[in-house]
Amino acid sequence: MAKRGRLDDVVIIGVGCSKFGERYDKSYEDLAVEAFEECLKDAGISREDIEAAWLGTFFPGFGGGMAGSSLADAIKIYGKPITRVENYCATGMEAFRNAVFSVAAGVYDIVLALGVEKLKDRQSRGLPRIDWHPLLAKGNTAPGVFALPAVRYMHKYGIDRKPLARVAVKNHRNGAKNPKSHFQKTITEEDVLSAPMVAYPFGLFDCCPVTDGSACSIIARKEVARELKKDYIKILGIGLAVTSARPQFKPDFEYIGFPATRLAAEQAYSMAGIKPENVDFAEVHDCFTWTEISNYEDLGFAEKGHGWKLIMEGETEIGGRIPVNPSGGLKSFGHPIGASGLRMIYEVVNQLKGRVEKERQVKLRNGIGLAHNLGGPGSVACVTILGAE
């Protein structure tokens, strides 16, 4: 059966992003406002023009995030529908997806998707765990969960930690050129390999940081963008896939990749009417270094078991065949859960418009960029494909 629609009438007219990092001087509301004001200016509209909004926050508290009123109070938009969205680490792109589909459905002309998270003021050193089992979940951590498939992959395909280290080096080098990233310094392969171990094979520099930050996007009907005489970015396709959050109970789970990413990518490629080789560059969910390598394969940029070759051969560098995470990725830019997916959208839009720092600008062949958000133990994935006007 043919897919219905290709989101032809929906475009992005504005994006914004706060500085990511340890923002102890800013509140939850401050971060939301920082991204929103940039986004509103970029779109060239007033806040009164926004008809509805979606707020992405994974872990509410410390100033907001429990409901839509957290966003209403921050950006002073009252009396309009605002929905809080949560879907593990894919929360940001899930907020974006819902906003896009509301315009595609013809319900609204202009809407907002905003993701924000305040994590550094909490007592927990890492991402707070939400246990679903009284025994099996005790003591597990995000590095530990992702380390399991990483070890399995390394064993099956006979690689060591060097490809993982190359991912960290690449993303820190990109992030060092990005004024809004959390970490703005370069590292060496030796730094990665000799760093304190967190959960083998992940050392300190293999793990993305817990971060404060916010990012947002304003979405509109194409006709409205033309009336406003705004340059816009086309939304070519969006896919979301949800698989089991308990993969250890599935006999067919191989622990070498994430089926949710493959399924979401298939949906997005089908909706966009393109293939992986048509994508110029990608922002992917590199919560850990090996996860980026797995994403190369699950997104179709390499065959299963060959993704590590892309990083070793420089193909995912800014000047390579398929640049990945020119922003610095989660590894360097940071990972405020509810904001990360929208931060990826922010980067893709700015790359397609040619307005990032010159040394970070990728070469555009087809004018197509991809953003990928992964959540939970790899159980939720969202893929968005955008195109230049």
Just list the catalytic residues.
Answer: 89, 335
Query: 145, 147, 124: which is closest to 136 by C-alpha?
Result: 145
Q: Strands, E, within 213-280: which ranges?
A: 213-221, 233-242
Contact 367, 226 (CB under 8 A): no
| Distance separating alpha carbons of residues 34 and 369, to the nearest angstrom | 25
Contact 156, 256 (CB under 8 A): yes
- The b-or-e profile of 267-302 (16+ CB within 10 A means b, else e) is bbbebbebeeebbbbbbbbbbbbbbbbbbbbbbbbb
Let me know how long the chain is: 389
Residue 252 burial (C-beta neighbours within 10 Å; 0-12, 13-18, 19+): exposed
| Distance separating alpha carbons of residues 39 and 116, to the nearest angstrom | 14
- The b-or-e profile of 133-152 (16+ CB within 10 A means b, else e) is eeeeeeeeebbebbbebbbe
| Distance separating alpha carbons of residues 385 and 97, to the nearest angstrom | 11
Residue 226 neighbours by CB under 8 Å, 6+ apart? none
Residue type, position 336, single letter: P
Residue type, position 199, single letter: A
| Distance separating alpha carbons of residues 346 and 355, to the nearest angstrom | 11
User: What is the 8-class DSSP label of residue 128?
Assistant: P
Q: Strands, E, within the chain: which ranges?
A: 10-17, 52-56, 82-85, 110-117, 197-199, 202-203, 213-221, 233-242, 281-283, 368-375, 380-388
| Distance separating alpha carbons of residues 254 and 318, to the nearest angstrom | 31
